[in-house]
Chains A and B, each alone.
Chain A
Amino acid sequence: MDRRSFLGCGAAGLAAATFAPSLAFAKAATDKRFLFVIQRGAADGLAILAPTGDPALARLRPLIGFEGGSRIDPFFTLHPALKATAALHAAKQALFVHAVASPYRDRSHFDGQNVLETGGALPYRLRDGWMNRLVATMPDDPHAIAFAPTIPPVLRGAANVTSYAPSKLPDAGADLMLRVGDLYGADPQLGPLWNQALAARAQAGDLASGKGAAAAGALAAKMMAGANGARIGMIETDGWDTHSGQKARLGAQLSGLDGLLAAFQAGLGADWRNTLVIVATEFGRTAAENGTGGTDHGTGSVAWLLGGAVRGGRVLADWPGLGASQLYEGRDLKPTHALDAVIATALAQHFGQDPARLAAALFPDTGARPLAEQFV
């Protein structure tokens, strides 16, 4: 008996104790889907959605440049690698919030990601993540899953979440899997982790050996599509820290992310209609390129809202300008939108919750206030 058939019959017949009942993905109370994609490493918003209408841009980026791409409004041009994203924009299913930032104003990745993920006002003040608190606000169990081998900080916390990532290792035998389950049963740390892992594997089925960014999007879609799919998902991407040779590296990064999003949309099928995807990074990069064709750690960047549920086809920006006196600390894109407010507002609209209450639940320390903007 191989693992798959073992798991198949496990779901139906084996001792129920092997599987935590709450993890059997049953239909959740909402049809809405939410996927959060984090860009670890500070993605360069000025290259992703270039303010080509700003006369200062050419002076700041002589080597990196910003040629090509889709001019999506008189002022902004989407990076040429973002083909599927440009199509989504044309279909009014993509919205960008530019010059956006979390409350964090320093330039450490680790602190910046901690603020972005915990939703705190300062690094390490909160121990759980805002996505975990989002799960706690929802009726029934919306089934939240991180597509990662371990649970990232944004999803960590008291509410029930799980994680899954495909593995290239050969499947462990059914006998060993059962015995390990017995051995971990009494361990307060390992027991619950083991049950979550088994439940997620049962769900994943044949895509378990998938590779690459597009496969990641397809896998996420598979786990989130249909009446029994998870309602909340999270994908980690890294490699956005482009200190040198940015042009080619960012192109490859964005092309991967674009493929991931396209595969996610295709895999969701009809559920795309009910889906909101938010792509965000911990902070932006310097407005000017450095001496090595890259950019250093900065402040403001761009957040993406995508999905069939999004009222897209536009860019929200209270553009601060790139002139020397307009930059934050003389070097970075100045943030004019608060990322936490954008997230809280969009999610409240998406899941039909009270915006002020959700903002307070997700971002208790930042004073995030709902925006008047209609995102979905």
Chain B
Amino acid sequence: MNDRIFAENRFGLGPRPRGSGGGDGRAWVEAQLGDRLAVPAGTPTRAEAAEALLAYRDERRDLRMERRQEPEPTAPTMTMSGEKASAKPKQPPELVGLRKEQRDLYLRAVDARLNAALTGPSPFLERMAHFWANHFAVGATKMTTVGFAGLLEMEAIRPHVTGRFADMLLAVERHPAMLLYLDQAQSIGPNSLAGERAGARGRDLGLNENLAREILELHTLGVRTGYAQADVTEFARALTGWTVAGLGRGPLQRRLGGAPGDFAFAEMLHEPGARTILGKHYGEGGEEQGRAVLMDLAVAPATARHVATKLARHFVADDPPPAVIARVEQAFLKSGGDLPTVYRALIASPEAWDPARPKFRNPWEWTVASFRALGLDKAPGQRAVGMLNELGMPVWRPTSPAGFDDIAASWAGPDALVRRVEAAQRLAATAGQEIDARALAPVTLGSRLSPATAQAISRAESPATGLALLLVSPEFLRR
């Protein structure tokens, strides 16, 4: 079972009504491995994101001078899951416009991502970009990251989707979105120049181990793979100095080179000394010290296994077969993390082509597949964003650095199902009466279209109801 429609559902983003056609599915996937993913048109620039954040901070600082202490606004989090609620302090009117500016940058990035998913030439690679963006999850959940979160995928992930894991890892961990999201930009070595000066003034500034821990637990080795708290702390010390240029205004910031939003290494924040991490010695070395640790982590056996497991879970099964994991893991180890080699091992796994083993589409995958099936060439802007929020998967806003779950139990809930039906009805209503779901069903589902679904569609009381039924049919909800 490796026809083209099957492959487009399992390895791509779902078929479009025209332009698919027959042919060998596996060949279709493999032909994409030599492609490169461009940065989608319309993506905001890093300079725009930095400028918006600076303007926001300046205004807040002015306000604070006026009113003394203004609490740090945070993105809302006290929620019934999926329902973003308002446990945040009221915003002064001066800030509303600037917040909107940052939100617009976020919306433009989401639009660019969706447009690439709808019409990009390499759907498998688009899918991989979504996978890696979730693996290296950052949340557009703080005022500092709203404008930057999407850029992590655009700038650090997409260029490396068909490159080496190590290069992607390095690009991700040096990206402003990650440095800001996991608090690395503010981490200070207690015995660094800055740490000592602050100490002398009676201020206890210091280390933040958030990024170091998540790199080990989520980005590379995986949780429970033998590292200890001491390794986390030592790694955090090694990473001190990794920060973002031009977003603060102290004397330190003025000394950093680079445009606002660029990676910068601040020697005066770096904790001096040699380190031992996971039994290996790393000599004194400023910026290089953190990079050396990262490069070792990128090719560690535990990393190969962690990445292989996540890929197998994403493409094969919630509870992935050990044989697939082992095959992908070996490909990772032998190639030193060459991603096309890793993907090839996955695509060559017969388990990945088993039609009896479909995966439940998460809200993003389902939304993209629906838009593609309807033949949309352009993302419906704010409406798409609102729909993904309602479906419980707001773009680049997972509730934790672990990203969104990749198992059916997290998405196939009673209420989530009703929401999809509601969303499908709305989509079908706006798609008009022109689309004949009876004709579209075999084109999008191929051999998986069941007689029951075909019959339900043909008996619908209106074309719109037929179309909605196709989008929420058991076959369309899975890939």
Q: Is B426's CB within 8 Å of the partner chain A?
A: yes
Chain A residues, Cβ within 8 Å of B206: 290-291
**Cβ–Cβ contact A123 & B85, under 8 A:** no
Given the contacts A108-B217, A169-B419, A216 and B80 also touching, CB distance less than 8 Å: yes
The residue in chain A whose Cβ has the minimal distance to the Cβ of B211 is A243
Which residues of chain A (192-223) have a CB below 8 Å from chain B?
A: 193-194, 196-198, 200-201, 211-213, 215-216, 219
Chain B residues, Cβ within 8 Å of A236: 79-81
Interface size class of A (residues with CB under 8 A): 35 or more
Interface residue stretch chosen among A67-75, A85-93, A173-181, A367-375: A173-181
**Cβ–Cβ contact B80 & A235, under 8 A:** yes
- Smallest CB separation, A82 vs chain B (Å): 13
- Smallest CB separation, A256 vs chain B (Å): 3
The residue in chain A whose Cβ has the minimal distance to the Cβ of B85 is A212
Which residues of chain B (379-425) have a CB below 8 Å from chain A?
A: 386-387, 390, 392, 399-400, 402, 408-419, 421-425
**Cβ–Cβ contact B392 & A212, under 8 A:** no
Query: 1/0 contact trace for A218-258 toward B, CB 8 Å?
Result: 01000000000000000111110101110111011101110
Q: Which of A109, A165, A182, A289 has the most CB of B within 10 A?
A: A165
Chain A residues, Cβ within 8 Å of B413: 148-151, 163, 193
**Cβ–Cβ contact A193 & B399, under 8 A:** no
**Cβ–Cβ contact B183 & A239, under 8 A:** no
- Smallest CB separation, B362 vs chain A (Å): 11
Chain A residues, Cβ within 8 Å of B188: 291
**Cβ–Cβ contact A167 & B390, under 8 A:** yes
Given the contacts A111-B223, A180-B472, A190 and B412 also touching, CB distance less than 8 Å: yes
Q: Is B21's CB within 8 Å of the partner chain A?
A: no
Question: Measured between alpha carbons, how far is A159 from B400 in the docked complex, in Å?
Answer: 29
Interface residue stretch chosen among A48-56, A272-280, A292-300: A292-300
Chain B residues, Cβ within 8 Å of A179: 456, 460, 465, 469
Chain B residues, Cβ within 8 Å of A245: 72, 74
The residue in chain B whose Cβ has the minimal distance to the Cβ of A289 is B204
**From B74, B217, B415, B453, contact of A150 by CB (8 A):** B415
Chain B residues, Cβ within 8 Å of A187: 474
**Cβ–Cβ contact A180 & B213, under 8 A:** no
**Cβ–Cβ contact A170 & B426, under 8 A:** yes
**Cβ–Cβ contact B422 & A166, under 8 A:** no
**Cβ–Cβ contact A168 & B186, under 8 A:** no
Chain B residues, Cβ within 8 Å of A151: 409, 413-414
Query: 1/0 contact trace for B172-186 toward A, CB 8 Å?
Result: 000000000011001
**Cβ–Cβ contact B85 & A215, under 8 A:** yes
**From A147, A167, A175, contact of B422 by CB (8 A):** A167
Chain A residues, Cβ within 8 Å of B182: 243
Chain B residues, Cβ within 8 Å of A249: 72, 74
Query: 1/0 contact trace for A357-368 toward B, CB 8 Å?
Result: 000000000000
Chain B residues, Cβ within 8 Å of A190: 412, 417, 474, 477
**Cβ–Cβ contact B468 & A176, under 8 A:** yes
- Smallest CB separation, B138 vs chain A (Å): 14
Q: Is B22's CB within 8 Å of the partner chain A?
A: no
Chain A residues, Cβ within 8 Å of B452: 183, 186
Query: 1/0 contact trace for A120-133 toward B, CB 8 Å?
Result: 00010000000000
Chain B residues, Cβ within 8 Å of A200: 414-415
Question: Measured between alpha carbons, how far is A156 from B423 in the docked complex, in Å?
Answer: 26
**From A165, A169, A197, contact of B80 by CB (8 A):** A165
Given the contacts A162-B414, A165-B80, A197-B415, A290 and B207 also touching, CB distance less than 8 Å: yes
Which residues of chain B (74-116) have a CB below 8 Å from chain A?
A: 74, 76-83, 85-89
Interface contacts beyond A212-B86, A213-B79: sample of 14 additional A-B pairs, CB < 8 Å, sorted by A: A108-B223, A109-B400, A150-B410, A164-B415, A166-B83, A172-B422, A172-B425, A176-B425, A180-B421, A180-B469, A183-B469, A183-B472, A196-B414, A213-B78
For the complex of A and B, 9 pairs with smallest distance between CB atoms: A239-B77, A150-B413, A291-B206, A256-B78, A256-B87, A197-B414, A248-B71, A169-B422, A212-B85
Q: Which residues of A contact B (CB under 8 A)?
A: 40-41, 62-63, 106-111, 123, 147-151, 156, 162-173, 175-177, 179-180, 182-184, 186-187, 189-190, 193-194, 196-198, 200-201, 211-213, 215-216, 219, 235-239, 241, 243-245, 247-249, 251-253, 255-257, 260, 289-292, 294, 296-297, 329
Chosen A-B contacts, 15 in total, with CB atoms closer than 8 Å, are: A111-B224, A123-B224, A148-B82, A149-B413, A162-B414, A170-B422, A176-B469, A179-B465, A189-B412, A193-B414, A212-B78, A239-B87, A252-B78, A253-B77, A256-B87
